[in-house]
């Protein structure tokens, strides 16, 4: 293998030669007759090959593993629906490149930059490039694109071909394949993040569909006085799902472009829209458009102006979204947040959208990052299917018992699709005509029938929320349609195939994974009203129709994966007291102290697994030491179920939440030892797998507190553990440190101390402010506290509390205003931000 410096030097020489050749014939290349295809072949392709990318797939990788995908441009009218290049690592997009001919002015022309930014923003790619080789512009694509934006908006790098050598390190150290593999691209993207104006696609699309929900809910409630709360929530969700599905199909070229838009231009929009939905029902037969099961939406009245506003917001020029590149994973993130709210009806039958009580108490909904999903899937599903044939894999049953919007099931399904395609390609693909076909550029693809078969055979989910169940189905069905075209879909219709998409009613079900029929004490359902029964939503796993009776009769599931809810029982008692007591009676893990609901999901997973089954969850590691975790620790230790723990310490996996998590992998049949991985640097672990790890003897695991140490400190820890006195034995009280949930406001950088007043920098306001010295205290983290000394942190924290007798009470607004007027003014400036913390939990407080 060539040393890193040698690779870089060779790359620089190749770029030097390309620049020399371009300079020599510049006049020819600048003519309008010299087209995009020519510049791609002669300059852009060799340029990125010099950066280490296999642009022409000389290594002969299958379609899903190609370094670079030259997107087939989906022609819609005069526009295209795909970027020219998609650069990938392990099949996942990292950045797009949009190519133009040299006669185009990359620096000033607004069209190329808008086109690129729209693609990359919709695909949630942080950085991407526009180039004609003469010029190369790098864009931060997290800034929402607007059609009239100047070409300079979002541009964070600009180079002419004359500067490629002088600025070569800047380009190579971010966009070379080697740099991306080492994490330099991600670090560079992160360093550019957070600038004013950034608004990522999922947060913007969430605002969009939340506004649709509010418009639809209010209008349906107004025009349909007999509609119930349940029907209203169902109808709004169903209409949005159907519109989103068809709009995505349009941009993917599966449905005729603009068909929804033409519907919006008619009079009597909703009747026309229902006709569109019925046509889709006969075509897809998927459940999304099933009017046999939907007795609500077809009888509603909805005003034209509401539907027109929704549909028009999905099309150019109002829409910044390019749905052809909007992945189902991104859509799942949007819907996960969307499902955190529910529509209520007031006494006057007016619709009001509110945060669900459990979500409000939890401080919001937090979506699992894709890299966590991928890791869990690889280490559960991946290990189960390794070396198996498609026939053998068909017997493997994968479950997420709290599937939410379906992120883990999408991850598992994606893994299975790739595994199956690899297997067929490596095992005489031409003999598997029902499973694979040869498409563009001789690449192999799974047939729609095979994708449906895999989904129906392997993927199963349950969620207590009926809307979440529908979203999971929608996401999985959109995944089936990836790489499909209008021609392939129409061909299946002509052949009379029974529904292009699978009906997932038997795979994804609605119910409470933790509560079975025993909840009703010998059938005394009369004690519960209809609303409470719907909220509890009992689920019978052994029922052959409503549950998964056939799977359970064969011993259970092979794999349970997911991110179970994290809800403390003190909080849950406020809206589900009956369930709390049931869990205490029914589950060992819930038998002690103020437990968190995730411990019950771990016990339930072990119950649902067959004898060879495997579980993979992301969850808090608090149960390792907490008193309430003792029963679960005993349960796991007794069965020697531990297989792997990936411990993240105090590093934060979930954006916007302070939750101390780990990855927990359990085997039903037990192990003699388990793997313990301590990830000291989350980003280093994510990008290159850097961590301290080692094996731990299962005999050392008991119901006592879990404190595992591997690596160089293991022997010292063993010796310290043998000492009789521990900190907990001598310390009077150990409390949790400060949690503001708004450090950007409360924690400030000290600039200067003027005695009674101090100058500090506010991260939230991005400026220096003057506060009263007595309103703040020094802010220290663990790393600043050393043996025999405390290192200065250079930070202070606002403490709006009065501490007396060891108890802290919040200072009243009037007292704060009188004693600390500067601090009061500063907090007022940040009021809207502070009230928005934890999903509006602090509104009006």
Segment of 459-463, 514-518, 836-840 carrying the highest mean pLDDT = 459-463
| Radius of gyration from C-alpha coordinates of the chain | 29
Higher pLDDT, 789 or 748: 748
Q: What is the mean pLDDT of the segment spanning 165-182?
A: 93
The most distant pair of C-alpha atoms in the chain lies apart, rounded to whole Å, by 89
DSSP 129: E
What is the distance between the alpha carbons of residues 708 and 637, in angstroms, rounded to a whole number? 14
Task: Give me the pLDDT at residue 356, please.
Answer: 84
Identify which has the larger pLDDT, 326 or 416. 416
Task: Choose from 214-218, 353-357, 765-769 the range with maximum mean pLDDT.
Answer: 214-218
Rounded to whole angstroms, how far apart are CA atoms 291 and 8? 61
Is the omega angle on the peptide bond into residue 657 within 30 degrees of 0, that is, cis? no
Residues 640 and 669: their CA atoms lie apart, in Å, by 8
What is the 3-class SS of 573-621, one letter each residue?
Answer: CCCCHHHHHHHHHHCHHHCCCCCEHHHHHHHHHHHHEEEEEEEEEEEEC
Give the pLDDT band (50/70/90) at residue 306.
very high
Question: Which comes out higher in pLDDT, residue 594 or 662?
Answer: 662
What is the pLDDT at residue 11?
Answer: 94
- At 399, give phi and psi (nearest 5°): -130, 140
Q: In the numeric block, which tokens belong to residue 110?
A: 């607004």
Residue 765: pLDDT band by 50, 70, 90 thresholds?
A: confident
Comparing CA positions, the residue from 247, 324, 314, 252 lying closest to residue 280 is 247
Measure CA 629 to chain center.
Answer: 28
Q: What is the pLDDT of residues 200-226, one digit of tens each?
A: 888 889 999 999 999 999 999 999 999
State how far the Cα of 722 lies from the Cα of 718, in Å rounded to an integer: 7
Instruction: Kindly provide the b/e burial profile for residues 656-693, where b requires at least 16 CB atoms within 10 angstroms of the residue's own CB.
Output: ebebebbbbbbbbeebebbbbbbbeebeebbbeeebbb
pLDDT for the residue numbered 752: 87
Residue (of 98, 80, 116) closest to 257 by Cα position: 80
**Residue 13 CA to chain centroid, in angstroms?**
41
Mind giving me the DSSP string for 164-187? TTTTHHHHHHHHSHHHHHTTHHHH
Given a cut of 90, is residue 721 above it in pLDDT?
no
Q: Is the pLDDT of residue 73 over 50?
A: no
pLDDT of residue 78: 40
Task: Judge whether residue 75 has pLDDT over 50.
Answer: no
* Assigned token pair, 21: 């050749």
In the chain the domains, ranked by start, together with CATH numbers, are 4-191 (3.90.1570.30), 201-355+403-463+465-510 (no CATH), 566-726 (3.40.50.150), 743-840 (no CATH)
What is the reported pTM? 0.83
Give me the half-sphere count of Cα atoms (radius 13 Å) on the Cβ side of residue 209. Answer: 26
**Is there a contact between 559 and 399 (Cβ–Cβ < 8 Å)?**
yes
Give dist(CA 111, CA 488) in Å, integer: 32
Q: At what angle do helices 630-638 and 597-608 cross, to 10 degrees?
A: 20
Say what the pLDDT of residue 522 is.
45
**Residue 25 exposed, middle or buried by CB count within 10 Å (0-12, 13-18, 19+):** exposed
Mean pLDDT of 271-277: 95
Distance CA 377, CA 653 (A): 17
Structure tokens at 419: 């595994």
Q: Which of 92-106, 530-544, 561-575, 700-714 has the highest mean pLDDT?
A: 92-106
Please give the Cα distance from 55 to 68 (Å, whole number). 5
Confirm if 476 and 524 have CB atoms less than 8 A apart: no
Tokens in use for 646? 């990936």
pLDDT at 284 over 80: yes
Percent of the chain exceeding pLDDT 90 equals 57
To the nearest 10°, the Cα dihedral for 415, 421, 427, 432?
130
pLDDT for 486 equals: 72
What tens digit of pLDDT does each residue of 79-118 get? 556 789 999 998 889 999 999 999 999 999 999 999 999 9
Does position 436 have pLDDT exceeding 70, yes or no? yes
Q: How confident is the model at residue 500 (pLDDT cuts 50, 70, 90)?
A: confident
pLDDT at 639: 96
Contact at 8 Å (CB) between 15 and 8? no
Residue 392 buriedness (CB in 10 A; 0-12 / 13-18 / 19+): exposed
For residues 425-454, give the mean pLDDT: 88
- Let me know how long the chain is: 845
Is the pLDDT assigned to residue 568 strictly greater than 50?
yes
What are the residues facing 184 on neighbouring strands? none
- Per cent of the chain over pLDDT 70 is 91
- In this structure, of 280-289, 344-353, 398-407, the range with the lowest mean pLDDT score is 280-289
Does residue 298 have a pLDDT over 90?
yes
CA distance 134 to 570: 64
| Sequential DSSP letters for 311-368 | HHTTSTTT----TTS--HHHHHHHHHHHTTEEEEE-TTS-EEEEE-HHHHHHTS--PP
Closest CA to 39 of 84, 130, 129, 100: 100
Question: pLDDT tier at 734 (50, 70, 90 boundaries)?
Answer: low
Reference 472, options 420, 447, 507, 501; nearest CA is: 507
**Above 70 in pLDDT, residue 533?**
yes
Residue 518 pLDDT > 90, yes or no?
A: no
CA–CA distance, 285 with 308 (Å, rounded to integer):
26
**pLDDT of 371-418, one tens digit each?**
999 999 999 999 999 999 999 999 999 999 999 999 999 999 999 999
pLDDT of residue 76: 39
pLDDT winner (highest mean) among 14-28, 675-689, 756-770? 14-28
CB distance 588 to 642 below 8 Å? no
The CA distance from 567 to 819, in Å, is 38
Residue 223, CA atoms < 13 Å, CB-side half-sphere: 15
**Mean pLDDT (the chain, rounded):** 88
pLDDT at 77: 40
* Contact indicator for 384, 616 with CB cutoff of 8 Å: no
pLDDT at 841: 56
388-392, 596-600, 786-790, range with the lowest pLDDT: 786-790
Query: Do β-strands 508-510 and 557-562 pair in parallel, antiparallel, or remain unpaired?
Result: unpaired
The answer to whether residue 504 scores a pLDDT higher than 70 is yes
Asked which of 364-378, 572-586, 795-809 is least confident by mean pLDDT, the reply is 795-809
Note the Cα 509 to chain centre separation in Å. Answer: 22
How many Å apart are CA 283 and CA 303, to the nearest integer? 27
At residue 193, the pLDDT reads 64
Three-state DSSP state, 138: strand
Name which residue leads in pLDDT, 785 or 477. 477
Q: Return the pLDDT at 833.
A: 81
pLDDT of residue 494: 58
At 489, the pLDDT band (50, 70, 90 cuts) reads confident
């Amino acid at each position: 293998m060539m040393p890193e410096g040698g690779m870089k030097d060779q790359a620089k020489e190749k770029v030097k030669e390309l620049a020399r050749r371009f300079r020599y014939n510049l006049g020819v290349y600048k003519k309008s007759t010299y087209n995009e295809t020519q510049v791609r072949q002669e300059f852009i392709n060799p340029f990125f090959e010099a950066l280490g990318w296999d642009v022409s797939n000389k290594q002969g990788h299958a379609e899903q593993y190609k370094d670079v995908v030259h997107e087939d441009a989906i022609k819609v009218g005069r526009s295209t629906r795909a970027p020219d290049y998609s650069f990938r690592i392990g099949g996942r997009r990292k950045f797009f490149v949009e190519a133009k001919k040299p006669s185009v002015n990359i620096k000033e022309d607004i069209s190329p930059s808008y086109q690129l930014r729209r693609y990359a923003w919709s695909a949630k790619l942080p950085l991407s490039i526009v180039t004609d080789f003469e010029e190369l512009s790098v864009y931060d694509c997290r800034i929402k694109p607007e059609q009239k934006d100047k070409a300079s908006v979002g541009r964070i790098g600009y180079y002419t071909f004359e500067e490629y050598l002088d600025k070569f390190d800047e380009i190579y150290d971010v966009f070379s394949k080697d740099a991306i593999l080492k994490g330099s691209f991600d670090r560079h993207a992160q360093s550019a993040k957070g600038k004013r104006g950034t608004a990522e696609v999922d947060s913007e699309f969430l605002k969009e569909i939340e506004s649709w929900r509010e418009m639809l809910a209010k209008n349906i409630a107004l025009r349909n006085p007999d509609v119930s709360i349940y029907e209203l929530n169902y109808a709004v969700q169903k209409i949005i799902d159907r519109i989103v599905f068809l709009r995505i199909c349009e941009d993917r070229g599966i449905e005729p472009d603009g068909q929804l838009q033409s519907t919006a231009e008619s009079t009597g929009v909703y009747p026309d829209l229902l006709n569109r939905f019925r046509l889709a029902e006969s075509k897809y037969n998927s459940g999304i458009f099933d009017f046999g099961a939907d007795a609500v939406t077809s009888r509603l009245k909805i005003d034209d102006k509401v539907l027109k506003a929704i549909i028009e917001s999905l099309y150019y020029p109002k829409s910044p979204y390019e749905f052809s590149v909007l992945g189902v994973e991104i859509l799942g993130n949007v819907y996960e947040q969307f499902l955190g709210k529910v529509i209520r009806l007031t006494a006057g039958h007016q619709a009001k959208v509110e945060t669900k009580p459990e979500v409000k108490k939890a401080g919001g909904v937090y979506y699992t990052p894709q890299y966590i999903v991928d890791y869990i899937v690889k280490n559960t599903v991946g290990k189960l299917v390794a070396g198996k044939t498609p026939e053998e894999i068909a017997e493997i049953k994968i479950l997420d018992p709290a599937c939410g919007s379906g992120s883990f099931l999408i991850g598992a399904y994606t893994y299975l699709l790739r595994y199956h395609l690899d297997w067929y390609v490596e095992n005489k693909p031409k003999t598997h005509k029902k499973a694979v076909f040869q498409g563009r550029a001789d690449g192999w693809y799974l047939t729609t029938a095979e994708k449906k078969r895999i989904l129906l055979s392997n993927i199963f989910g349950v969620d207590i929320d009926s809307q979440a169940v529908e979203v999971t189905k929608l996401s999985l069905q959109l995944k089936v349609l990836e790489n499909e075209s209008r021609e392939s879909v129409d061909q299946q219709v002509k052949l009379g195939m029974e529904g292009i998409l699978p009906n997932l009613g038997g795979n994804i079900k609605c119910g409470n994974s933790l509560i079975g029929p025993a909840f009703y004490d010998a059938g005394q359902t009369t004690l519960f009203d209809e609303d409470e029964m719907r909220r509890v939503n009992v689920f019978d796993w052994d029922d052959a129709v409503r549950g998964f009776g056939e799977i359970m009769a064969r011993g259970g599931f092979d794999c349970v994966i997911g991110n179970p809810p994290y809800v403390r029982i003190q909080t849950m008692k406020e809206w589900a007291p009956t369930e709390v007591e049931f869990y205490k009676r029914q589950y060992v893990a819930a038998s002690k102290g103020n437990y968190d609901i995730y411990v019950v999901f771990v016990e339930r997973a072990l119950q649902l697994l067959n004898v060879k089954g495997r579980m993979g969850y992301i969850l808090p590691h608090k149960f390792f030491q907490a008193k309430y975790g003792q029963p679960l620790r005993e349960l796991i230790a007794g069965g020697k179920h531990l297989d792997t723990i990936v411990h993240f310490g105090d590093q934060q996996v979930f954006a916007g939440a302070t939750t101390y998590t780990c990855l927990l992998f359990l085997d039903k049949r037990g192990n003699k030892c388990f793997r313990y991985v301590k990830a000291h640097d989350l980003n280093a672990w994510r990008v290159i797998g850097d961590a301290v790890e080692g094996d731990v003897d299962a005999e050392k695991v008991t119901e006592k507190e879990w404190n595992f140490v591997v690596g160089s400190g293991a022997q010292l820890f063993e010796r310290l553990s043998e000492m009789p006195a521990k900190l907990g034995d001598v310390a009077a009280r150990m409390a949790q440190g400060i949690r503001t949930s708004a450090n950007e406001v409360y924690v400030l950088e000290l600039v200067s101390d003027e005695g009674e007043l101090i100058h500090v920098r506010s991260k939230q306001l991005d400026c220096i402010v003057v506060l009263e010295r007595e309103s703040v205290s020094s802010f220290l983290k663990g790393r600043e506290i050393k043996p025999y000394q405390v290192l200065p942190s250079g930070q202070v924290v606002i403490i709006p509390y009065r501490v007396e007798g060891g108890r802290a009470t919040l200072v009243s607004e009037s007292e704060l205003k009188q004693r600390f007027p500067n601090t009061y003014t500063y907090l007022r400036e940040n009021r809207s931000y502070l009230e928005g913390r934890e999903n509006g939990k602090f509104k009006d407080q």
